[in-house]
Chains A and B, each alone.
Chain A
């Protein structure tokens, strides 16, 4: 953030913090990231999230998380962070040859 309030922004120069919004669309599904919004505090963030992201019954549960509190991996597709899982084909069931006539495998 630039910290600059804009041409005719707020006198205080301060902006409400950014929150990321996660919505569970129905029971049995995970919360999924839907976007972000700005709010003065967590409670207001929840109310705004309801009004902005669930106007048509899109959710039964909402999480809001201050964007500043999120720790993320590097976005690089070739990130060595993910290398440990790349060469372990034996973690997948298709790695194992089983005769076709063995049932329920």
Chain B
């Protein structure tokens, strides 16, 4: 079928119209290069975060205090792997190459969320990650379910459904510990102290230092600014902390009746920048572990490809066999 090639301004107008009508952009639609590259970068970074995010908690699977906790943790870490895969699938719909993205992750060319560069020192950290880290992730991700790019939005819907289990298991774990011994309660408080500020940093730099936000919001990739989402998270979390009986480590945290929201203290952005730059407590370890898993798995990938090739050749010799 031959059709006249629409010119670029017409394509741009159609793209803007689709966004304006709050409809989704789908993989084979025309899109501006900047829209495509912004999405690939954001989704890849998100996928990497899910994959690296398996590590801090996976360390506790063999040391979980009961079979129940072990099964839960195993299922949660498996979910993180699944989330990474949904997201890599979305990047491929934009023309990205999955193995190239893995290459960029293990060579340090692409980033992942700074939060996963912190260590999990006790089992209470597992609970606090579910409560605060997954809680912050949900806050960030729920609006992404309405992202203008269809495959990303659909992946986020699946992810958000599963994250809800992650957050609840974490909170339940912490409640159990808070009903335990004095020592267990102290562990929960210490883990909360360690994770609170890094969790607030998960929303990214303050709006004034986030130059890409305006364009991302115009494209409806992002629906809220970093500071709006951070405030929403604080407002949601304070009553949860009270119900749990822990203190959030911020002397400036207080209810502001005038705003109808909580005021909170200044975030240490120098720490955030340092961790992003690779100087967090676990950056090197996380990337090295991912690289090792990738390299040590290469013989499995090669063997599977060789086996598939052999089976294909056999089917050509004996057609009809093996067909389902």
Contacts and interface: CB of A to CB of B under 8 A. Distances in A.
Given A55-B78, A75-B28, A40 B308 contact: yes
Interface stretch (A13-21, A87-95, A96-104): A13-21
Interface residues of B, number: 45
A74 B26 CA distance: 12
A52 B81 CA distance: 8
B97 A40 contact: no
B282 interface: no
A57 B51 CA distance: 23
Contacts of B307: 40-41
Contact of B107 (A7, A11, A18): A7
B291 interface: yes
B305 A14 contact: yes
Nearest to B109: A7
Contacts of B308: 40-41, 44
Nearest to A17: B308
A8 B89 contact: no
Interface in B105-129: 106-107, 109
A10 B79 contact: no
A6 B98 CA distance: 9
A18 B85 CA distance: 13
A38 interface: yes
Contacts of B196: none
Given A10-B298, A36-B92, A41-B311, A4 B97 contact: yes
Contacts, number: 95
Interface string A58-95: 00000000000000101111011100000000000000
B93 interface: yes
Interface in A1-34: 1-2, 4-12, 14-16, 18
Contact of A36 (B75, B93, B99, B102): B93
Contacts of B97: 1-2, 4, 6, 15
Contact of A9 (B86, B103, B162, B312): B103
Contact of A35 (B89, B101, B106, B298): B89
A8 B99 CA distance: 9
B3 interface: yes
Interface string B16-31: 0010000000111100
B128 to A, nearest CB: 24
A16 B301 contact: yes
B73 to A, nearest CB: 15
Nearest to A79: B3
Contacts of A55: 75, 78-79, 82
Please provide the 8 A-B residue pairs with the shortest distance between their CB atoms, ordered closest to farther. Answer: A6-B103, A75-B28, A41-B308, A40-B304, A7-B103, A6-B100, A40-B308, A7-B107
30 contacts: A5-B99, A5-B100, A6-B103, A7-B100, A7-B104, A7-B106, A9-B99, A9-B100, A12-B305, A15-B97, A15-B98, A16-B305, A35-B89, A35-B155, A36-B89, A36-B92, A40-B301, A40-B304, A40-B307, A41-B312, A44-B308, A51-B78, A51-B82, A52-B82, A55-B82, A74-B1, A74-B28, A75-B28, A80-B1, A81-B1
Interface of A: 1-2, 4-12, 14-16, 18, 35-38, 40-41, 44, 51-52, 55-56, 72, 74-77, 79-81
Interface of B: 1, 3, 14, 18, 26-29, 75, 78-79, 82, 85-86, 89-90, 92-93, 97-104, 106-107, 109, 151, 154-155, 162, 291, 294-295, 298, 301-302, 304-305, 307-308, 311-312
Given A44-B304, A75-B26, A75-B29, 19 more contacts: A1-B97, A4-B97, A5-B100, A6-B97, A6-B99, A10-B99, A11-B298, A11-B302, A12-B302, A12-B305, A14-B305, A35-B86, A35-B89, A37-B85, A40-B308, A44-B308, A51-B78, A52-B82, A55-B78
